[in-house]
Homo-oligomer: A and B are copies of this chain.
Amino acid sequence: MTPRTRAALVGGVTVAVLIAAWEAAVRMGDLPPFVLPAPSHVAATAVGSAPLLGPHVLTTATEAVLGLALGATVGWLLAVLTATIPTTGQVAQPVVLLSQTIPTVVLAPLMILWAGFGLTSKVVLVALTVFFPVLIASSAAIRDVDAEHADMVAGLGGTRRHQLWIVRLPASVPGALAGLRIAATYAVGAAVVSEYLAGASGIGVFIQRSRKAYAVDQIFVGIALIAILTAVLVLAIVALRRALTPWQPAHARL
């Protein structure tokens, strides 16, 4: 058994145990299904509403992936920019902080004034959530770069640009990937929240409609979909990490 199959197996067993424990808790405890439906019940609901779900999942996945790509790119570029020209960092700092502290419920109406109801405003909202961990983790990685390496390049006649391209950027990749790993976990959730605020389709719309209809089992179907989409994204990032850091030994997947 390779470490990777082992990891997949342990993960799978854990999920199974969790679900079994949940089922048992619902059956033995006396929580009304209205508070916590049994997973078997949720599964049945999922099968029943399967035909509905396809377009919702597609919408959310599109928003999440595009938003993740946009946000990660912006975050990484901003990290590079602020590392190159420190003043930009000092200027960006308050703006970045604000972008993370304004509640989405307040931001969304302004966003929609500006970008309309379509895909754009949702992708931007996801990107807004996602760029931040990438920015901070990349910045930290670029900043903490070995002076030894930067000096080496300068000593060979390299300019600051060379230092950036040869040392800082590559050295920031593991950090950026750690940021991206965090960001990927938030991306689907952010897409769902953006749909709460203004959506015609998507898992967020599905959940919101279910809430309004007091259909708790459907809400849990929605949550399961979010979790699955997120897991897929995260696994993709882990694969990306493997591809982008070939010099590192294969390592745990957390």
Number of copies of chain A assembled together: 2
Contact for A98 among B87, B143, B188, B227, CB less than 8 A: B227
Contact for A15 among B82, B94, B185, CB less than 8 A: B94
Residue of B nearest to A226 (CB): B101
Taken together as a complex, chains A and B put the C-alpha atoms of A175 and B105 apart, in Å, by 31
Asked whether, in the complex, the Cβ of A89 is within 8 Å of the Cβ of B254, the reply is yes
CB-CB under 8 A from A35, the residues of chain B are 109-110, 113
Known interface pairs A89-B254, A93-B253, A254-B136; A186-B100 also in contact (CB < 8 Å): yes
Asked whether, in the complex, the Cβ of B82 is within 8 Å of the Cβ of A252, the reply is yes
Asked whether, in the complex, the Cβ of A90 is within 8 Å of the Cβ of B14, the reply is yes
A155 on the interface (CB 8 Å rule)? no
A121 on the interface (CB 8 Å rule)? no
CB-CB under 8 A from A18, the residues of chain B are 94-95, 98
What are 8 A-B contacts with C-beta separation under 8 Å? A10-B91, A18-B95, A18-B98, A86-B252, A93-B253, A136-B254, A137-B137, A140-B174
